[in-house]
C-alpha cells in the first residue's frame, strides 16, 4: 500500500474497526441547529432542510452510492428524510435501485424520489443515485472511477443546471 498511496499522514484512518465514531448518526443534530452539539450546528437537520430545498427547487442532484461504503449507506438517505424531522417539507422519500432519472446503464441505476404532503402524495423531485462496486472513495478503483466519470458526464448532459 505504501508504494501505491505513499506514507500515511497523521490524520489518515484506514482501520475502520478502530474508528470509535464510524457508527454514530450523522451530526447527532436536533431539529434546532442552535441546540446541536458543539461544531455540529451545520449538520443533521439543517443540512437536510437545505438539501430538500435544493432538490425541490430543481437543483439536479447526483449522489454516488458505493456498495462497500462504511461512511454512508447512500440508499438510507431516503429513510433519514422520512423520519418525521422533515415532515414540514416532505411526507417521505423513497429509494429505488431501478429508478434511473439520468438514463444511466441499468447495472448502476438507482435513485430517490421526494414525496409531497398532499393527498395523494406527488413527486417533488428525484435524485440520481447510481451504485458503484467500491468503498467511500469511488475514484480509488479504476473501473468505478471510469464509470463514475461516464455517468457524471451523461447526468450533466441531461441536467445541465
Asked whether the CA dihedral 103, 98, 87, 28 is positive or negative, the reply is negative
pLDDT value of position 40: 47
Tell me whether residue 125 is in a domain.
yes
pLDDT value of position 118: 83
Tell me whether residue 52 is in a domain.
no
The cell numbers describing 135, all together, are: 468503498
Q: How far is the C-alpha of 145 from the C-alpha of 149, rounded, in Å?
A: 6
Task: Please state whether the peptide bond connecting residue 120 to the residue before it is cis, i.e. omega within 30 degrees of 0.
Answer: yes
Tell me whether residue 112 is in a domain.
yes
Tell me whether residue 4 is in a domain.
no
Domain hosting residue 118, numbered range: 61-158
pLDDT value of position 69: 86
- 94 pairs with which residues across the strands? 113
**Average pLDDT, consecutive stretches of 10 residues, N- to C-terminus, the chain (161 residues):** 60 54 48 46 70 90 90 88 84 92 94 89 92 87 89 91 68
pLDDT value of position 26: 47
Residue 126: which H helix or E strand, with range? strand 123-128
Contact 139/145 with Cβ under 8 angstroms? yes
pLDDT value of position 24: 52
Please choose, from the candidates 70, 77, 133, the residue with its C-alpha nearest in 3D space to the C-alpha of residue 105.
Answer: 133
Asked whether the CA dihedral 77, 79, 83, 89 is positive or negative, the reply is positive
The number of distinct structural domains making up the chain is 1
One DSSP character per residue, 38-102 reads TT-TTSTHHHHHHHHHHHHTT---B--EETT-SS--GGGHHHHHTSSTTTTT-SEEEEETT--TT
Tell me whether residue 19 is in a domain.
no
Tell me whether residue 81 is in a domain.
yes
Tell me whether residue 85 is in a domain.
yes
Tell me whether residue 28 is in a domain.
no
The cell numbers describing 68, all together, are: 462497500
Contact 58/125 with Cβ under 8 angstroms? yes
Amino acid at each position: 500500500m505504501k508504494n501505491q498511496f505513499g506514507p500515511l499522514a497523521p490524520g489518515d484512518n484506514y482501520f475502520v474497526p478502530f474508528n470509535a465514531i464510524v457508527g454514530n448518526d450523522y451530526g447527532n443534530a436536533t431539529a434546532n441547529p442552535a441546540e446541536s452539539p458543539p461544531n455540529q450546528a451545520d449538520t443533521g437537520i439543517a443540512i437536510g432542510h437545505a438539501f430538500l430545498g435544493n432538490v425541490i427547487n430543481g437543483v439536479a442532484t447526483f449522489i454516488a452510492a458505493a456498495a462497500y461504503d462504511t461512511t454512508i449507506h447512500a440508499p438510507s438517505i431516503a429513510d433519514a428524510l422520512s423520519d418525521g424531522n422533515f415532515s414540514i417539507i416532505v411526507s417521505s422519500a423513497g429509494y429505488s435501485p431501478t429508478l434511473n432519472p439520468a438514463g444511466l446503464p441499468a447495472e448502476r441505476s438507482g435513485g430517490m424520489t421526494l414525496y409531497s404532503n398532499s393527498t395523494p402524495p406527488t413527486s417533488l423531485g428525484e435524485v440520481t443515485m447510481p451504485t458503484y462496486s467500491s468503498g467511500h472513495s469511488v475514484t480509488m478503483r479504476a473501473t468505478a472511477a471510469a464509470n463514475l466519470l461516464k455517468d457524471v458526464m451523461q447526468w450533466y448532459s441531461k441536467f445541465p443546471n
